[in-house]
Structure 1
Amino acid sequence: MTPQAPTPTPAQIKRWRHYLADEIAEGAVYRELANKRTGEERAILLGLADAETRHEEHWRNLLGDHAAKAARPSLRRTVLRFLARHFGSVFVLALAQRAEGDSPYAADTDATRQMAADELVHEEVVRGLATRGRNRLSGNFRAAVFGANDGLVSNLALVMGIGATGVASSFVLFSGIAGLLAGALSMAAGEFVSVRSQRELLSASKPTQITLSAAPDLDLDANELVLVYKARGMSDEDAAHRAAERMGLYSCDCNPTLSLWPERDEEAQEIEHEEIGSAVGAASSSFCFFASGAVIPILPFIFGMSGTPAILLSALLVGIALLATGGVVGLLSGASPTKRGLRQLAIGLSAAGITYALGLLFGGTVA
Structure 2
Amino acid sequence: MISTPSPASPSPAELRRWRQYLADERAEARVYRELAQRKTGSEREILDALADAEGRHEEHWLELLGDDVGKPRRADFRTRLLAVFARRFGSVFVLALMQRAEARSPYETDDDATAAMAADERIHGEVVRSLAARGRSRLSGTFRAAVFGANDGLVSNLALVLGIGATGVSSTVVLATGVAGLLAGALSMGAGEFVSVRSQRELLAASTPDPDAHTAVPKLDVDANELALVYRARGMSSADAAAKAADVFGGLSTTTSAIRIQRVGDAGVTAPTVAPDSADSAGDEHEEIGTAWQAALSSFCFFASGAVIPVLPYLFGLSGIVAVVIASVLVGLALLGTGAVVGLLSGGPPLRRAVRQLAIGFGAAAVTYLLGLAFGATQS
Match of residue 168 from structure 2: 166
| Aligned 1:206-245 pairs, distance under 5 A | 206-236=208-238, 237-238=240-241, 241-242=244-245, 245=248
**CA deviation digits over 1:235-255, x for unaligned, max 9?**
444455457647973489xx9
Match of 1:249 among 252, 272, 294: 252
One-letter amino acid of the counterpart of residue 249, structure 1: L
SS in 2 for 1:138: helix
Residue of structure 2 in register with 1:185 after alignment:
187
Amino acid at match of 2:132: A
> 2-side partners of 1:109 and 1:264: how far apart?
56
* Partners of 2:377 and 2:164 in 1: CA distance: 12
**Larger deviation: 240-249 or 21-30?**
240-249
Q: 2: CA distance between counterparts of 1:193 and 1:112? A: 55
**Residue 109 of structure 1 is aligned with which of 108, 111, 132?**
111
Q: Does 1:293 align with 2:306?
A: yes
Residue 273, structure 1, aligned to residue 286, structure 2: yes
| Kept after mapping to 1: 8 A contact 2:5/2:63 | no
SS at 1:322 equivalent = helix
Task: Tell me which amino acid in the other structure corresponds to 1:280.
Answer: W
TM-score when normalising by structure 1: 0.92
TM-score, normalising length: structure 2? 0.89
Give the direction of change, closer, same or farther, for the CA distance of 1:82–1:63 in structure 2 (3 Å limit). Answer: same
Q: Contact 2:342–2:353 at 8 Å: present in 1 too?
A: yes
1:43 to 18, 21, 45: 45
Amino acid of the structure 1 residue aligned with 2:360: I
1:223: how far off?
Answer: 1.1
* Residue equivalent to 1:8: 10
Partner of 1:150: 152
Residue 70 (structure 1) aligns with: 72
CA contact (8 A) 2:229 2:241 kept: no
**Residue in 1 aligned with 2:262?**
none
C-alpha deviation, 1:335, in angstroms: 0.8
Change (3 A) 1:243 1:172: farther
Matches of 1:18 and 1:216, distance apart in 2:
67
What residue is the counterpart of 1:34 in the other structure? 36
Q: What is the SS of the residue equivalent to 1:139?
A: helix
TM-superposition CA deviations, 1:87-108 (whole Å, max 9, x none): 0111111111111111111221
Q: Contact between 1:160 and 1:355, CA under 8 Å: does it hold in 2?
A: yes
Task: Kindly report the root-mean-square deviation, in angstroms, between the aligned alpha carbons of the 2 structures.
Answer: 2.5
Deviation at 1:311, TM superposition (A): 0.6
Offset at residue 278 of structure 1 (A): 0.6
How far apart, CA to CA, are the structure 1 residues paired with 2:299 and 2:32? 33
The one-letter amino acid paired with 1:15 is: R
Structure 1 unaligned residues grouped into runs of 5+: none
Give 1:258 shift: 4.8
Contact conserved, 1:160 with 1:311, CA < 8 A, in 2?
A: yes
CA-to-partner distance for each residue in 1:169-210, whole Å, 9 max, x for gaps?
A: 111011001001111111100110011111111111111145
CA distance in 1, matches of 2:224, 2:103: 58
For structure 2, which runs of at least 5 residues remain unmatched after alignment?
Answer: 260-267
Displacement of 1:43 after TM fit?
1.3
Taking the aligned partners of 2:289 and 2:5, their CA distance within structure 1 comes to 63
Aligned to 1:308: 321
CA distance in structure 2 between the aligned counterparts of 1:326 and 1:258, rounded to whole angstroms: 39
Indicate if the aligned counterparts of 2:33 and 2:48 stay in contact, CA closer than 8 A: yes
2:129 is matched by which residue type in structure 1? R
Counterpart of 1:322 (choices 335, 348, 358) is: 335
Give the whole-Å Cα distance in 1 for the aligned partners of 2:172 and 2:59. 66
Alpha-carbon distance between aligned partners in 2 of 1:201 and 1:363, rounded to the nearest angstrom: 48
How many matched pairs? 364
Cα deviation code 1:45-100 (max 9, x no counterpart): 11111110011111111222332401111010011000011101111111111111
The CA deviation at 1:272 is: 3.4
Greater CA deviation, 152-161 or 65-74? 65-74
Task: Please report how far the alpha carbon of residue 227 of structure 1 lies from its aligned counterpart in structure 2 after TM superposition.
Answer: 2.4
Q: Does 1:118 align with 2:120?
A: yes
Q: 1:37 Cα deviation (Å)?
A: 1.1
Partners of 2:211 and 2:275 within 8 A in 1: no
Q: Which structure dedicates a bigger proportion of its chain to helix?
A: 1
SS at match of 2:69: helix
1:90 aligns with 2:101: no
Q: Name which of structure 1's ranges 257-266 and 97-106 shifts more when overlaid on structure 2.
A: 257-266
Offset of residue 263 of structure 1: 4.2
The alignment partner of 2:9 has SS state of: coil
